[in-house]
Amino acid sequence: MKFGPVAPKDALGAIAVHSIRQGALVLKKGTVLGPNEVKALEAAGVRDIVVARLDADDVPEDAAAAEIAAAAAGEGVRVDRAFTGRANLFAAGAGLLVVNEAAINQLNDVEPAITFATLEAFAPVVAGTMIATVKIIPFAVPRAARDKALAVARAAHPLVRVAPFRVRRVGVISTLLPGLAPKVIEKTLRVTAERLAPAGAEIIGERRVAHETQALARALDELLAAGAELVIVFGASAIADERDVIPAAVEAIGGRLEHFGMPVDPGNLLLVAEVAGRPVLGAPGCARSPKENGFDWVLTRLLAGLPVRRRDITAMGVGGLLMEIVTRPQPREIETVAGRRVAALVLAAGRSTRMGGPNKLLADIGGKPLVRIVCENALASRAAPVIVVAGHQREKVEAALSGLNVTLVHNPDFAEGLSTSLKAGIAALPESADGVIVCLGDMPQVDAALIDRLAGAFDPERGALVVVPTVEGKRGNPVVWSRRFFADLMKLDGDTGARHLIAGYAEAVTEVPVSDTGVFLDIDTPEALQTLKADVENGRVGKGA
């Protein structure tokens, strides 16, 4: 291929290397220059234009890209018409992308002008997902290079294919031990169903049995007899050894263990086994969470009918560190176990819009402003320091707290929602704080004893990074947050709190059952305020510290 600048009159039949915009002239890169284009260039006063001319043994970019893409495509792949030297490959249906990495590397080594890029291996895809692209970088490639690339693709065919999801019927077994709440199992089933849905699979049977070998073996037999093509076992206790309950139950019904453990974190404690040609998965604890983990990597392969052998799992280490494990202690947390420092953050910047006018935080409750009662309760607890975020009617709120040993923080953006106050407060926390208990300024019945109980349950070393009070299984406020989550809290926006973080990091949450419904009582309406005043006057609740 010849390449270089020429006068427009000498460019006839050549390819424009660059786009040109000059006056009324708009000439796109890659245009084959005919008489009209030459005339337009001259009329626009263009003196030189960089062009490319193909040699006799060159293959045009679109033709080369189309041929190589067609040679590379396998089952479940369609190739779009090549354009500007690019041929894109798409999934024809839902499934898992399977790539021949060695052959793709060999193809990319043939000629710098020929490139082949794909999604990551075993990526789940749906119909229409672009899975790969062949791009010819210049406007043509030497025929010999094209032929060599085709030879590589044809010898290793296919380079890419989409393995359709084949497994549709899944059985789920949960083993039980004292202390495992039914709602944990219900959530696990819900999360599992959501994982299976994109593959068109569903749970056709579910069993809950004692965490004991024979009981589990019977449940496995039942689900396999019912037609389950795959069985997932969620143990009440993590698998600790190949002789543990779950692997022992598999072997008890004539099954075979393929591999225990995987170099993917989270997901280490995974068991892959087989009974009568059907896979059985011993799920790691992280599989109860919707977040991506090593369990997903194996599950999607099995749903696509792909074998998962020991060597497949041991090859997952590079790239297998999926995220920081929030429940894992950090050095700083280990050093402060003996005296964890929990600060209190009181959010008192809101506009009380549902009150219809007055600022509820300034309402008199038994002789004290509501916000003062909340802050006195925090000050009477072990939490320190106590930081108060004010915004709406800042001066009046600060006056209501006169004489109290609190740190006042102004939130000028309070009108934009709760998240702005939370971020202002987090930013003001001292470096010495290992965690913070976030209190709402309109919850006067959260007393010092409750704050101390929640702070006492905060134990980062043992995975209790978020502590939430519950009454009969329903979660309330206030919530203790580990410093590990401060960065996440700083990313919130709008008028939403941090509840979605709690849902996303279930493994880090510790619930503290309480009997005091004050964890639900926030004063949002005039009616709620009048009820609180009446309760205080009648001695049914205290007036704060």
Give pLDDT, residue 262: 96
d(CA 160, CA 123): 12
For residue 450, the model assigns a pLDDT of: 95
Residue 34's Cβ-count burial label (10 Å; 0-12, 13-18, 19+) is exposed
Q: Is 309 exposed, middle or buried (0-12, 13-18, 19+ CB in 10 A)?
A: exposed
pLDDT single digits (tens) 506-521: 778 899 999 877 788 7
Give the span between the Cα atoms of 255 and 263, in whole angstroms: 24
CB 258 within 8 A of CB 251: no
Could you give the 3-state DSSP secondary structure of residue 151?
helix
> Per the omega criterion (within 30 degrees of 0), is the bond before 266 cis?
yes
Which pLDDT belongs to residue 333? 40
Which fold does the domain 169-314 belong to in CATH? Answer: Molybdenum Cofactor Biosythetic Enzyme; Chain A (3.40.980)
Asked whether 252 and 213 are in contact (CB, 8 A), the reply is yes
Instruction: Give 361's strand partners.
Output: none
Residue positions counted in the chain: 545
Distance of CA 299 to the CA centre of its chain: 17
**Per-residue model confidence as pLDDT tens digits over 449-461:** 999 999 999 988 7
Per domain, the residue ranges of the chain are: 2-53, 58-164, 169-314, 332-537
What's the pLDDT at 540? 53
pLDDT bucket at 545, cuts 50 / 70 / 90: very low
Name, in order, each residue with C-beta under 8 angstroms of 313's C-beta and a sequence gap of 6 or more: 259, 261, 262, 263, 270, 272, 298
pLDDT at residue 325 above 70?
Answer: no
pLDDT confidence band for 313 (50 / 70 / 90): very high
At 539 the pLDDT is: 58
Residue 465 in contact with residue 326, Cβ under 8 Å? yes
Beta-carbon count within 10 A of 357 CB: 8
Which CATH entry fits the domain spanning 332-537: 3.90.550.10, 1.10.3720.10, 3.40.225.10, 3.40.1170.60? 3.90.550.10
Topology adopted by domain 2-53: Molybdopterin biosynthesis moea protein, domain 2 (3.90.105)
**Cβ distance 188 to 174 under 8 Å?**
yes
Decide the pairing of beta strands 114-118 and 169-176. Answer: unpaired
SS3 call for 119: coil
Dig out the tokens for 260 from the structure: 């225990």
Q: For 399-445, how does the pLDDT look when each residue is reduced to its tens digit (9 = 90+)?
A: 999 999 999 999 999 999 899 999 999 999 999 999 999 999 989 88
**475 touches 430 (CB < 8 A):** no
Interval 356-369: pLDDT, tens: 667 889 998 888 99
Q: In a 3-state reduction of DSSP, which class is residue 240?
A: coil
Residue labelled with tokens 């206030």: 478
Closest listed residue to residue 267, CA positions, set 236, 292, 246, 300: 292
The region of weakest confidence among 5-19, 476-490, 515-529 is 515-529
pTM of structure: 0.68
Query: Cα–Cα–Cα angle for 356, 530, 468, nearest 5°?
Result: 90
Q: Quote the percentage of the chain above a pLDDT of 70.
A: 93
How far is residue 50's CA from residue 200's CA, in Å, rounded to a whole number? 53
Rounded distance, CA 154 to CA 13, Å?
34
Beta bridge partners of 469: 512
Whether 451 contacts 437, CB under 8 Å: yes
- CATH value of 58-164 in 3.30.420.40, 3.10.310.10, 3.40.640.10, 3.90.1170.30: 3.90.1170.30
- pLDDT tens figures, 10-55: 888 888 888 888 888 888 888 888 998 888 888 888 888 887 888 8
DSSP assignment of 41-95 equals: HHHTT---EEEEE--TTEEEHHHHHHHHHHHHB-TTEEEPPPBTTEEEEEESSSE
Secondary structure (3-state) at 522: coil
Give how far the C-alpha of residue 477 lies from the chain's centroid of Cα atoms, to the nearest Å.
Answer: 25
How far from chain centre, in Å, is Cα 46?
53
49-53 and 15-16 as β-strands: parallel, antiparallel, unpaired?
antiparallel
Q: What is the pLDDT of residues 98-152, one digit of tens each?
A: 999 999 999 999 999 999 999 999 999 999 999 999 999 888 899 999 999 999 9
Residue 520 confidence (pLDDT)? 82
Q: Are 263 and 235 in contact (CB under 8 A)?
A: no
